[in-house]
Amino acid sequence: MKKGNVAVLLSGRGSNFTAIVRASRTAGANFTVRLAVSNRADAVGLKKAARLGIPALHVDPAAFPDKAAYERAVCALLEGEHIDLVCLAGYMRLVGPVLLGRYPGRILNIHPALLPSFPGLDAQRQALDRGVKVSGCTVHFVDAGTDSGPIIAQQPVAVRPGDDEDALSRRILRQEHRLYPRAIALFFSGRLQIDGRTVIVRK
């Protein structure tokens, strides 16, 4: 079986990245993580990648005249590794037309809420402020909007009385680490089909 090649774009801690790499190294996995790219030099995720033996690169957006030029540089790295799927994992930048154009329907993101509720920053804080009893996480295809692309998979997580942002975030994060690798495996199974806003999972 030819395995799919994955790149992870990140900006910070990289715990989802680590979970994806671990899953890729289990028996029967249908994907390999080839590359981690960060827009931030100080991303802890870059160090984690080095420890895991995955090539990890910092691409500094400030070194380029505009977002398009920055994304062209990222795309050159991705193409060099024959990347099939780009996974955003705590990547704190909006994806622009260059990256979207080169990888149409081939960019995923994970968000720590049940979309379309609470898109954008501080999703766990937003959920607590709104008093919801259930939140969770969502893996979706990336489009030009903020956390607005077709939804692939979701996992609900109960909000417990007395939860603060840290407690809820930790509980959601544990589920993120399970959901993201499952969604990636589903992508490479070839069973996903995008129909407008809906992702159909074929039998």
Contacts to ligand GRF by CB under 6 A:
10, 12-17, 45, 89-90, 110-112, 173, 176
Measured from the CB atom, the residue of 67 and 174 that comes closer to ligand GRF is 174
Q: Which residue is nearest to ligand GRF (CB)?
A: 90
Measured from the CB atom, the residue of 19 and 74 that comes closer to ligand GRF is 19
- For residue 156, the one-letter residue type is P
Min. distance of Cβ 110 from ligand GRF in angstroms?
Answer: 4
Measured from the CB atom, the residue of 16 and 24 that comes closer to ligand GRF is 16
Cβ count near 79 (within 10 Å) = 11
Min. distance of Cβ 190 from ligand GRF in angstroms?
Answer: 25
Min. distance of Cβ 202 from ligand GRF in angstroms?
Answer: 26
Measured from the CB atom, the residue of 80 and 120 that comes closer to ligand GRF is 120
| 82 noted as active-site residue | no
Sign of CA dihedral 185, 178, 199, 12: negative
Q: Which of 58, 82, 111, 140 is catalytic?
A: 111
| Residue numbers annotated as active site | 111
